[in-house]
Each structure stands twice: as C-alpha cells, then as structure tokens.
Copies of this chain bind each other. A is one copy, B any other.
Amino acid sequence: MKIVITGGAGFLGQRLARRLLQAGSLTDSNGTVSPITELVLLDTVAADGFGDPRVRSVVADISDGRRMADIIDGGTASVVHLAAIVSGQAEADFDLGMRINVDALRTILDICRSNGNRPKVLFTSSVAVFGGDLPDMVRDDTALNPRSSYGMQKAVGELLVNEYSRRGFIDGRVLRLPTISVRPGKPNKAASSFASGIIREPLNGEPAACPVPPDTRLWLLSPRKAIDCLLRGHELSAGALESSRTINIPGVSVTAGAMVDALRRVAGPEVADRVSWEPDPFVARIVGSWPAAWDTTQARILGLEGDADFDSIIRAYIEDDR
C-alpha cells in the first residue's frame, strides 16, 4: 500500500509518518487492511533521518501538476494533504495562497480522479473557515464565513473534497483542526504562531511577545492528539461520513491569558514571566475572527478525541519535544 503525505517534511508530516510506520498497515477505501509498502514524504525540502526502506523523500512543488501526477500514481491508496500556505502568509500574498491552497489541491484531486482507484484523501482544514458574528459554540451546521484569505481557501478546499467524494472520484475526509499548540521548532508565518511561541520560547529560556490581548480565546489541540486524529480520521469507514465528509476535531478552549497561567502552574513563575503582551493588529484581527470553540459531538461519536486541558498540552509538549 502506497501512501503520499504532502508537507511530509513538515512537523506534522514527519510525526504522522513515524506513527504510520509504527502502525505498519492502514485501511484503504475498499475497507481492506494492507501493509504500508511505500510512504512518500513530498515537500519543498527533503525529509531526512527516517532510515526506513519504506520511506521515500521527494522534493517537489505541489503546484507542478506533471510532477504530482508522477508521484500520485494509480497505485497510491491514500493521500494525506497537509501542505499549505499558512494564514499570515496567505494574507500577505494572495496569489501564492490561491496557487497552493486552492489550485494545487484541485490538481491533486483531479489526479486522484483520473487514476480511477478512488483513493482516500485526508485534508486538514482549520478554525479559520469560520468568522464574523459567531455563536459561542460553533455548530456542525454553522455557516463558513471566513475573514481571511487562508480561511476562504480552506473553505473552498472543504467544498471540493466533499464534492469529489460525493461524486465518487475520491474517498475524502476533512479534519477541521483546532490551532496546533505546542509546535516545536521555530515560529512560522501562521497568524497563530504565537500560540506555540508563548509556551515554547519561555521553556527555552527565551522571551516571547504575545500579539493578541490576554482575553483572546483560542481553540487548541496538541500535536500528539492531532496525530491520533489524523490516523483515526484516515481509518474511519466512509459510511460513517455520509452526512458530511467534514469533522470538527475537539479542542481546548482557552484564553491567551489562561495559557500563560497554565505555563506558570506547569513550569513556574520565572518561565511564565518571560511572556510579554505586545498586541499586533494584523495578527489580532485574523486570530480574533476565529471561533473559540465548536461542537464536537460528531467527532466524539467517531472516536476522535482532543486534550483534557491546556496544562496537559504543555506537559505533552515537555514529554514529546523537549
């Protein structure tokens, strides 16, 4: 069984790859469980250090349709599509966001369709598809009203994956992920980058500026639980997704201020005091348009779980990444 992960050299991609290699086998769209024989990690940079004969690192631009058609061939049972231009960058460069977040997705979907083997396609969406006057708790049937280019592009992606699935071109599933926190490594161009930075940098002994006010509420998921959800989301039978291919993944609803309070409890005041409050209107506007929580009944019925609280998220980060 061949699996392709786009964004496979990224942090979630590499972590998912390790988990899939551990699992050893997956369920295809016919319900057949088969061993993973080839795991392609596709990205703009190489994914090194796997040392596993099943892993193939491929460096390519996902908007290069010809290369993509070579990589996602008719023997590909699943595509996990994680590659994206993140929110801050998609807002700064509209055309780049459209090219990668919309056009490249469509190219991938059309390749899957023309292959004719109805592969599974796992697509990650985002809190950013919501916006405007939101209820305290976003429901499964709350309208998408994105207030960022990234959110619009992810919303279009959701519609495409649902429709290509309805038509039987693919067996798609959309996991609408909370903001991932705590990401290891360096800040990125996501407007939500601080949601990891204000925990990660202080734990590294470095100062961190929080660009949103303390009462800004976020909806967060640890990388550990995100990987659990990706794996389970892949394994779900299509029959469980008849009303919609889109699943709201459970998060922890917490304010930026409460995140720092949790850091204080878990790591002590000296660490928490490394966070300063320096509002940035660009970031605050984008992040402030996102929902603080959404209804997760469907996810829980399907067995997809989030974290218990933000203290647990910090502890998971310390265990997994430090």
B143→A143 contact, CB < 8 A: yes
Residue tally, chain A, CB below 8 Å to B: 24
Whether A152 contacts B141 by the Cβ 8 Å rule is no
Q: Is the CB of A244 within 8 A of B152?
A: no
A167 to B133, CA, bound (A): 18
Task: Choose among B145, B149, B152, B244 the residue that contacts A132 (Cβ–Cβ < 8 A).
Answer: B244
- Given A167-B94, A243-B132, check contact A152 B160 (CB 8 Å): yes
Counting every copy of the chain, the complex holds 2
Q: Are B159 and A152 in contact (CB under 8 A)?
A: yes
Closest-CB distance, A148 to chain B (whole angstroms): 9
A155 near B: Cβ within 8 Å? Answer: yes
Chain B CB within 8 A of A140 CB = yes
Contact A163 B143 (CB under 8 A): no
A244-B147 Cα distance, complex, nearest whole Å:
10
Supposing A94-B167, A243-B133 touch, asked if A155 and B146 sit within 8 A by C-beta, the answer is no
Interface of chain A residues 69 through 104 with chain B (CB within 8 A): 94
Q: Are B146 and A143 in contact (CB under 8 A)?
A: no
Contact A146 B159 (CB under 8 A): yes
- Give the CA-CA distance A263 to B253 in the complex, in Å: 55
Tell me which residues from 204 to 218 in chain A have a Cβ below 8 Å from any Cβ of chain B.
none
- At the interface, yes or no: A142 with Cβ under 8 Å from chain B? yes
Complex Cα distance, B132 from A159, in Å, reads 14
Report Cα–Cα, A159/B145, bound state, in Å: 8
A258 within 8 A of B: no
